[in-house]
Structure 1
Amino acid sequence: MKRLALGLAMGACFAAFGTVAGGEPAAAASAQSRKVIVDDDGFGIAQWLLLQAPDVDVLGIAVVSGDVWRDEGVAHALRGVEIAHRTDVPVLKGAVYPLLNSEKLTDRWESLYGKLVWKGAWMRQWVEPTAQSTPPYHAADVVPDLPEGNPTTKASDESAVLFMIRKVHEFPGQVTIIATGPMTDLALAQRLDPSFAGLAKELVYMGGSFNPRQVRDDVAAAQFAREFENSPRREFNFRFDPEAASIVLRAPWKRIVSVPADPSTATELTPAFLHRLAAANPAFADAVRKKEPGFPLWDEIAAAVWLDPKLITRSEDLYVDVNSQFGAGYGDTLSWRPGYQPDMDEQKEVVVRTVDVPKMEQAIVDLLSRKLPAGK
């Protein structure tokens, strides 16, 4: 606790009196950039968009278990910043396990209520034939060789949770948190420091599902949307750690933007789109070519609409929570129009329902095509 208090105090001093690279006053640099911390369960094109974006200061990339185990996600993130020539951005280790949920509990739930389409780090095989390959199943402390190459740099020694707390104190009201994985890290930060959410500028997250209506049978990504036809309120990031998501969504954020699964069902990382991305910038070309097609652009939507809200074509204000009761609806999204919420600290959110997909894809290509010097 003394170490945390000292770190927060030092951060405040640096924010008030420090300088940034090149001797520019910290206060001036703050006014010129949008500060963001990414909390994700891996690394992908979404993070490159933020690293490439002008006037965006990525303070750090936190990694939590979800689609893959934390340590594998950390390796992807380290390699990702290396490819982007942005090793100045720290990669930080977050939570390895959800607050309460576990692989055994998930197996038990499936025996009672039916199979899940996607289980992330707990995934052993697909229930039915699918275009996407099955990720390698392994223990939490195993890091397989990465398709894009293994990193040579190391993660920060600082905990992702303490880093996020320190940064919102250092830059009160200025830091956006973009969460594109399970919310375990954010829940831990809020429980350790109840002022955490209130000190941030906003939370933008990819998670939850309301009622996706753009499921198309003619695209491979529709295989990820098939679950919504019978369980429209189920989505992986919430389902992996429902208790954490509920804690985070009831915290006193100044502003919350929700990017649920709904707009993603109209998108796909097709071979043609991958070709466009690979051609945009030689720095990313090899890694992009090794990405597997057929997945929706979940995280990319969250990053893109934060960078340019005009990409949103339809949104609505809703109060949102997550079902944390271990039953058939465990992890499902709960929502209410204003006035109907039970008033148990649910927060009003801007829920993105649809986006302009062609314009978003072009914006992604344009950002990846930017040529930046090492260290930006």
Structure 2
Amino acid sequence: MRRLFVLIALLCAAFGAAHAAEPRRKVIIDDEGFALMHLLLLEDRQVEVVGITTVSGNTWANRATAMVLRGLELSGHESVPVAQGATFPILNSEARTERWEALYGKLVWKGAFMKQWAEPTVQSTPDHHGPFDPVDLPWGNAKLKPLPEAAALFMIRTVRANPHQVTIMACGPLTNLALAQRLDPEFASLVKEVVVMGGSLNPQQVLDNTSAAQFAREFVNTPRREFNIRFDPEAASMFAHAPWPKVTFVPVDPSTATQLTPALVERLAKAARPPVAAMIRRMEPGFPMWDEIAAAVWLDPSLVTRQQRLWYDFDVQFGPGYGDMLTWYDAYRPGLDEGQADMVLTVDVAAMEARFAQALTAKP
């Protein structure tokens, strides 16, 4: 029996040493808040989140920063550095958005510019804030402070210290990445890869009465419009013309088959550590899992069931297609240094949800 225990101990030590020798995958999360996607990457044993940067999008950058800092405190990841990013898009603004709507029709979601839904929905109406309004979070305010450094500068410094090792998980508007590339023309070439949640090709409406289908209605008449890009089209186009070694786009196409249901919330909460579980249970269900798909396909590319490799750019003309995604096959591209990326079209939803639970399993 003693020999058996010794053998088990040796096997465990060898297994631990083998995994210790595998370097964790470095990632910077660039987003406009703190959500399930952050927890998936922070909790995964194979990932090292080397920093979180914030940007205005769903909410203003100062509010997003406060949410990230509090989320790190509550989840026990206080050592992760946080850098606040761009408050305003490169050119777009709330006034320009309202003028655009008067000319071309209502947007479904406007993020920080949002005051009300265009039609009744089951989702709550977000509070409207100004870009510099003080932040008072309902789940408490953080004692942690952000770095005294702009997000674009933090990205440049971190990538230069770890050339060709850092992935950027960009799940908000691309303002920070555009600014970083403008400040440092070598920045993009030193990044390992970028995973972008943004853009839209031809998402199909889910034919049921789930709340995810309510978001899918947006794409019936405007199949190329998506919020992260529409909030800052100029930054997105600047991103498209930068020399990234590898880009993966997760457009909204696969999201219409997903939903953060109450049952999934409870399943993931049961898999997580108690403080993380409490955070998950506070999340509002009923939304498609946009950012979570981006994290999932980076963690496990085998979850992708269909993708296309396309050339891409974005419409920056202030007309009805402002912010729309433009794509081409090889023979039709304009050849103006537009970007090339793998576009994720569908994913294995059941396997993805199981991968979420695996990522959230309590660490030893």
In the alignment, structure 1 residue 233 sits paired with structure 2 residue 207: no
Which of 46, 52, 55 aligns to 1:61? It is 52
Q: CA deviation at 1:145?
A: 3.2
Map of 1:104 onto structure 2: 95
Moved more, 136-145 or 87-96: 136-145
TM-score, with length taken from structure 1: 0.89
Map of 2:206 onto structure 1: 215
Larger radius of gyration, structure 1 or 2?
Answer: 2
Letter in 2 for 1:365: A
SS in 2 for 1:239: helix
In the alignment, structure 1 residue 323 sits paired with structure 2 residue 315: yes
SS in 1 for 2:217: helix
Map of 2:282 onto structure 1: 290
TM-score, with length taken from structure 2: 0.92
CA distance in 2, matches of 1:150, 1:289: 19
Q: CA deviation at 1:340?
A: 1.2
SS in 2 for 1:32: coil
Letter in 2 for 1:278: A
Moved more, 97-106 or 167-176: 167-176
Contact 2:205–2:220 (CA<8 Å) still a contact in 1?
no
CA RMSD of aligned residues (A): 1.5
CA distance in 1, matches of 2:75, 2:331: 46
Cα deviation, 1:267-311, whole Å, max 9, x if unaligned, reads: 001111111122222121222222111101000000110011011
Map of 2:244 onto structure 1: 253
Which of 81, 86, 96 aligns to 1:90? It is 81
Contact 1:75–1:143 (CA<8 Å) still a contact in 2?
no
SS in 1 for 2:188: helix
Q: CA deviation at 1:108?
A: 0.2
CA distance in 2, matches of 1:291, 1:145: 18
Letter in 2 for 1:172: P
Which of 182, 193, 198 aligns to 1:202? It is 193
Q: CA deviation at 1:85?
A: 0.9
Letter in 2 for 1:310: S
Letter in 2 for 1:305: V
Which of 364, 371, 374 aligns to 2:363? It is 371
Q: CA deviation at 1:143?
A: 4.3
SS in 1 for 2:331: coil
Map of 1:274 onto structure 2: 265
Letter in 1 for 2:152: V
CA distance in 2, matches of 1:31, 1:308: 16
SS in 2 for 1:316: strand
Unaligned 5+ runs, structure 1? 1-28
Letter in 2 for 1:332: D
SS in 2 for 1:140: coil
Q: CA deviation at 1:244?
A: 0.1
Map of 2:333 onto structure 1: 341
Contact 1:148–1:290 (CA<8 Å) still a contact in 2?
no
Q: CA deviation at 1:144?
A: 4.1
CA distance in 1, matches of 2:63, 2:47: 26
Which of 42, 49, 53 aligns to 2:33? It is 42
In the alignment, structure 1 residue 192 sits paired with structure 2 residue 183: yes
Contact 2:226–2:252 (CA<8 Å) still a contact in 1?
yes
In the alignment, structure 1 residue 128 sits paired with structure 2 residue 119: yes
Q: CA deviation at 1:230?
A: 0.5
Q: CA deviation at 1:75?
A: 1.0
CA distance in 1, matches of 2:133, 2:269: 30
Q: CA deviation at 1:369?
A: 2.1
In the alignment, structure 1 residue 332 sits paired with structure 2 residue 329: no
Map of 2:12 onto structure 1: none
User: What count of residue pairs does the alignment treat as equivalent?
Assistant: 345
CA distance in 2, matches of 1:55, 1:169: 22
Q: CA deviation at 1:142?
A: 2.1
Cα deviation, 1:64-95, whole Å, max 9, x if unaligned, reads: 00001101101111111112211111111000
Letter in 1 for 2:169: I
Moved runs in structure 1, 4+ residues, more than 3 A?
Answer: none
Contact 1:319–1:338 (CA<8 Å) still a contact in 2?
yes
Map of 2:144 onto structure 1: 153
Cα deviation, 1:152-172, whole Å, max 9, x if unaligned, reads: 211111211101011111111
Contact 2:45–2:363 (CA<8 Å) still a contact in 1?
no
Q: CA deviation at 1:30?
A: 10
Structure 1 residues 187, 325: CA separation in 2 closer, same or farther (over 3 Å shift)?
A: same
Unaligned 5+ runs, structure 2? 1-19
CA distance in 1, matches of 2:154, 2:22: 21
CA distance in 1, matches of 2:150, 2:22: 27
CA distance in 1, matches of 2:21, 2:33: 27
